[in-house]
Amino acid sequence: MKRIYMDYAATTPTHEEVVAAMQPYYNNIFGNPSSLHFFGREARKAVDEARLKVANFLNAKPEEIVFTSGGTEADNFALKGIAFTNRERGNHVITTKIEHHAVLESAQFLETQGFEVTYLDVDTNGLVNPEDVKNALTPQTTLVSVMHANNEVGTIQPIEEIAKIITDFNHEHSRSVYFHTDAVQTAGALNIDVQKLGVGLLSISAHKFYGPKGVGALFIKKGTRIKPFMHGGGQERRRRGSTENVPGIMGFGKAVEIVMKERENWVKHLEPLRNKLIEGILNIIPDSMLNGHPQKRLPNNINVTIKYVEGESMLLNLDLEGIACSTGSACSSGSLEPSHVLRALGRTHSESHGSLRFTLGRHSTKEDVADVLGVLPKIVTRLREMSPLYKKK
């Protein structure tokens, strides 16, 4: 059976060049970068080179990059690290209702530790209003965390505007509120320049852009007050103990190199495919609607609600046809609540249960899009025929 992968936001296939770049670091150049001998030195040299690549990718300094086990760890580090380290300055954190669980559940954990957290609303397209950030800032605030683009609906946030509000607030009130953004979804699609964005902390993850799983980074601007996340070694300038994942870091370095070279081409390839799939679904399937911002959205993200049917049953039917996607329905996750993101956008429970997300990547083709548009309407018709919610018009 022909298999069509449309879940690139979940993970991407590791690029062949990335795999090749990692290979020597398993058994040939295997030293521990902390060792003083030749084997250690050559591993350290490699890690330093990769760190420089990732720093260049973000327009940061190498010493501002902390390698982590991925995006989740980077988010945990940012939220807990800043909140606990700066507790004597204040106990208030601002974030949004549509963050990834790595941020949301870290924030909820902080609440159990006596911190106060403000969860900002978003509009029906999933946009945070920078004015809301302004109004939420208090003399107790130490951290604002707003994701760069949402993983479910693809809405791209006005990070630069929010950064400016925080900078102004800091100047006016002689404060040092830190600004973190989770850029896990954006690295393969948007230019990520920490200077231009104006953020003090930023999370990325390699496997979202053709790098290996199990490696990511947290950018921490020089001068940031943050205590180590993992104790037990002097690695990462004492900020994260643990022997470096050398092959992973080498793959990460190669992946950012490829992204810098290819990103524009990918976007040119993806946007027309995305638009075709969105328009196709909305035109062919009655009672369907787009979730997320129509323009300010990731070039590879399609998220639609198809009314009167439940997402997991569509997903499974698509899977039987060889098409892989995801859904915000509660039934897919094993939890009972549908997507918190769709709910925050104002979608009803059933509209959230009836959502499908297709995320495209560099291997996606026009034919793939045409196949989905051929198969999905039939699935929807069949499921609607057995749905008590659907009354034929």
Tell which one of 114, 223, 232, 334 touches another protein (CB under 8 A): 334
Q: How far is CA 283 from the centre of its chain?
A: 29
Closer residue to another protein (CB): 2 or 391: 391
What's the CA gap between 97 and 104, in Å, rounded? 8
What's the CA gap between 71 and 102, in Å, rounded? 8
What's the CA gap between 15 and 7, in Å, rounded? 16
Closer residue to another protein (CB): 23 or 387: 387
Work out whether 3 is an interface residue with another protein (CB under 8 A). no
Torsion of the alpha carbons at 248, 249, 251 and 254, rounded to the nearest 10:
170
* Site map (CB under 8 A) of another protein, residues 366-385, x = contact: -------------------x
Work out whether 265 is an interface residue with another protein (CB under 8 A). no
Query: What is the DSSP secondary-structure string of 270-317?
Result: HHHHHHHHHHHHHHHSTTEEE-S-SSSB-TTEEEEEETTS-HHHHHHH
Work out whether 282 is an interface residue with another protein (CB under 8 A). no
Tell which one of 230, 324, 331, 375 touches another protein (CB under 8 A): 331
Contact status, residue 352 vs residue 328, Cβ threshold 8 Å: yes
Tell which one of 243, 335, 365, 381 touches another protein (CB under 8 A): 335
Of these residues, 331, 346, 375, 387, which one is catalytic? 331
Closer residue to another protein (CB): 162 or 330: 330
Work out whether 291 is an interface residue with another protein (CB under 8 A). no
Closer residue to another protein (CB): 251 or 354: 354
Among this protein's residues, is 331 annotated catalytic? yes
Work out whether 271 is an interface residue with another protein (CB under 8 A). no
Whole-Å CA distances, 30 to 119, 211, 215, 238: 45, 20, 17, 22
Work out whether 333 is an interface residue with another protein (CB under 8 A). yes
Closer residue to another protein (CB): 197 or 318: 318
| Size, binding site for another protein by CB under 8 A | 28
Contact status, residue 255 vs residue 207, Cβ threshold 8 Å: no
Contacts for 224-230: CB closer than 8 Å, 24+ residues apart:
224/82, 224/178, 224/200, 225/82, 225/85, 225/86, 225/176, 226/77, 226/81, 226/82, 226/85, 227/81, 227/84, 227/85, 229/68, 229/73, 229/76, 229/77, 229/80, 229/81
Tell which one of 150, 329, 339, 364 touches another protein (CB under 8 A): 329
Closer residue to another protein (CB): 78 or 304: 304
Work out whether 349 is an interface residue with another protein (CB under 8 A). yes
Work out whether 310 is an interface residue with another protein (CB under 8 A). yes
- Nearest distance in Å: CB 311, another protein: 8
Interface residues toward another protein, by CB under 8 A: 308-313, 316, 320, 329-338, 348-350, 353, 385-390
Task: Please give the positions annotated as active site.
Answer: 331
